[in-house]
Structure 1
Amino acid sequence: MSFKNAIKLVFSKFNIVWAKLAAIFVSSVIIIALCVDPILSLYSWLEKVGFINKITIVWATFTETGNISTLLTSSLDLVKQFLEYYVTHPEILWDFTIKFGFLILGVYKFLLTSFELGFSKQIYGIMSDNSKPGFWVSYVSQFGKSLLYSLIKTVAFAIYDIVTFVVLYFSINAVFEIPVLIPVIAMLIIIVFLTFRSSLFFAWLPYITVEKRNMFVALGKGILLFFKKFAKVFSAYLIAWICIISVCVFVGLFTFGVALIIAVPVCSIFLAFLNMTLFYSSNGMRYYMDDKIFDINYI
């Protein structure tokens, strides 16, 4: 029910998606401006060692055959070659890992995350009293708290994502001689890790916005609520991530990436609504669905 209600709320309050798209655009413009130098350095290095040519061949093969399995296998093979070459050439450590990695994984994630508290407050207003608070008003009103939240979450997620990457790399390496298993194992690990991450932190923002809890108290209470409602929460996010990845891959392939401009903010706002609907239902709280009140206790 929480899953279905989150979908309904996304499309009935679609104006939030445009605000999310604006937030992504602002963050992207800032990060692109900062990334020009490391991107040029990376491209120059990739062209020098022949990786640009290899990438071109892989993409040309996919456009001719349309074989997604071959594309994934070839892409993972390129990643493995890149990592093997990378560890034997430490001279690119500064140009790529520190500069580019820090900007993308750190600064960009920090900028995007800094908007989440504003969206959560806006969603809380919609669900608690059917109000229509503007996003930018919500964002500015708690700018300092948003930056603190963003800093904590960025660091925590960066550690989690590094662990995910390490597990993914060694898992793929273990089955590399069986190409047919590579995309299956890779996708399975990605979905499980994304599901667990979303589930573990699902109630953090709701506790901050709904119950006005301290940042760290909200985090602790949110994790406890996740383990208390583990089956319900984990299954909801498992279905959510399978649907999100399927939709993004489908629209990405068949519109050459154009539809992702809308699909990405829609999926992001859907997850924000899912956080809140799961939080409300897990605590037996009522909330607005348009002009009607939804009460989990009377279903």
Structure 2
Amino acid sequence: MMFKNSLKLLMANFATVWKLLVYKILVLGIMTGLFFIGFSFIQGMDTFVSFWDSIVNFIFSFNVGASIMELLQNALTVFQEFFIFVGDLAVNGTGMFIYYTFIFVLLFPFLWKLSDLAVGETLYGYMASLTKYSFVGAMIRLVGKSCIYSLLTLAIMLPINALIIAGLYGILSLVSFGGFTAIMVPFLIFIYLSAFAGLKIAFFSGWMPAIIVFNCNAVKGLKLGFKAVFRRFFKVLSTSVIIVAVILAINMLFGSFSFIITIPVGSMILLVFQMVMFFGSQGMRYYVDLDTILSPKKLEETDKLKKVKDLI
């Protein structure tokens, strides 16, 4: 039900997707400009050339219908060439290593998440009273909270994402064994990413909505968000896994050309899902579209039922 209602709300607020796309393109443009500042240094490195060639080969095989084994081997090569390049850069270009670590590991995810509260504000207005808030106006109005929220998100998600990527690399490495083990790798990757990315999304899905709905700071919002999530955790988790699986399936079917759609739409559907989850968890009525108002169970009823189940 959460997935279905999230899709309905996504369609009702699709104009925000285009605004979010413009913001994401702006962020990518900034990162591209910052990347080229040090490009003259790294383009002369043999390890960078090898890394870049591995990326090109992977993208080409991803889009031209190469065999699954070839695609996975190219993906593994990207990882391996990246590690070699980073090691070379750290030793022979320490200044550039620090610079690129800052812009891609710290600045990029910070800017990427900076729009979340603004999107949440526009969704809250629509869901609560069919009011349409300006996305740009919300970005400006919430810039202080957004910066703190984005910084805290960065601090929490950085080690989590690093562990997920490390696990992905470990599974990809199984391709080298060949045989039945290699055949199972694509299925393992799909299950692994759906499960762990879904778990990460579910666990923190109440954070942004709590800040918006209760107009509180990021720290208090995190606590209230956890409370909302654990009130119906398994429903939240299953919906998160479904959303991630659908996004992965679309990208696998249509290649990198689908990224221009799946990136903003995927980002938007996750934010819509968070708001739907939170409204439902709090027992708050909300509009799905112009003609439909949903009335979840009251918060007191939900907590009372939970206590009865615990006693049984």
Same fold (TM over 0.5): yes
Q: What is the deviation of 1:192?
A: 2.1
Q: 1:41-92 deviations in whole A, cap 9, x for unaligned?
A: 4443246764555556666667776213321223213423543575477425
Distance (whole Å) between structure 2 residues aligned to residue 115 and residue 33 of structure 1: 20
| Structure 2 CA distance for partners of 1:44 and 1:194, relative to 1, 3 Å | farther
- Cα RMSD for the two superposed structures: 2.7
Instruction: State the TM-score, normalizing by the size of structure 1.
Output: 0.86
The answer to whether 1:273 aligns with 2:276 is no
Where do 5+ consecutive residues of structure 1 fail to align?
none
| Structure 2 CA distance for partners of 1:216 and 1:48, relative to 1, 3 Å | closer
The answer to whether 1:234 aligns with 2:231 is no
The answer to whether 1:180 aligns with 2:186 is no
Letter in 1 for 2:264: P
Percent identity between matched residues is 25
Distance (whole Å) between structure 2 residues aligned to residue 223 and residue 11 of structure 1: 27
What secondary structure, in the 3-state scheme, does the structure 2 residue paired with 1:296 have?
coil
The answer to whether 1:122 aligns with 2:125 is no
| Structure 2 CA distance for partners of 1:51 and 1:6, relative to 1, 3 Å | closer
Letter in 1 for 2:116: E
Distance (whole Å) between structure 1 residues aligned to residue 89 and residue 22 of structure 2: 39
Q: What is the deviation of 1:297?
A: 3.8
Residue matched to 1:21:
21
Instruction: State the TM-score, normalizing by the size of structure 2.
Output: 0.83
Q: 1:230-278 deviations in whole A, cap 9, x for unaligned?
A: 2100000000000011123333x2xx62x43233111111111100111
Letter in 1 for 2:5: N
Q: Is the 8 A contact 1:172 1:182 kept in 2?
A: yes
Q: Is the 8 A contact 2:47 2:84 kept in 1?
A: no
| Structure 2 CA distance for partners of 1:88 and 1:131, relative to 1, 3 Å | closer
Distance (whole Å) between structure 2 residues aligned to residue 117 and residue 87 of structure 1: 37
What secondary structure, in the 3-state scheme, does the structure 1 residue paired with 2:223 have?
helix
Residue matched to 1:202:
205
Distance (whole Å) between structure 1 residues aligned to residue 8 and residue 275 of structure 2: 13
What secondary structure, in the 3-state scheme, does the structure 2 residue paired with 1:210 have?
helix
Please give the residue correspondences for 1:219-230 in structure 2 after superposition, counting only pairs within 5 Å.
219-230=222-233
Residue matched to 2:295:
295
Q: What is the deviation of 1:165?
A: 2.1
Q: Is the 8 A contact 1:204 1:218 kept in 2?
A: yes
Distance (whole Å) between structure 2 residues aligned to residue 111 and residue 75 of structure 1: 27
| Structure 2 CA distance for partners of 1:168 and 1:96, relative to 1, 3 Å | farther
Q: Is the 8 A contact 2:57 2:74 kept in 1?
A: no
Residue matched to 1:30:
30
| Structure 2 CA distance for partners of 1:198 and 1:93, relative to 1, 3 Å | farther
| Structure 2 CA distance for partners of 1:181 and 1:89, relative to 1, 3 Å | farther
| Structure 2 CA distance for partners of 1:288 and 1:51, relative to 1, 3 Å | closer
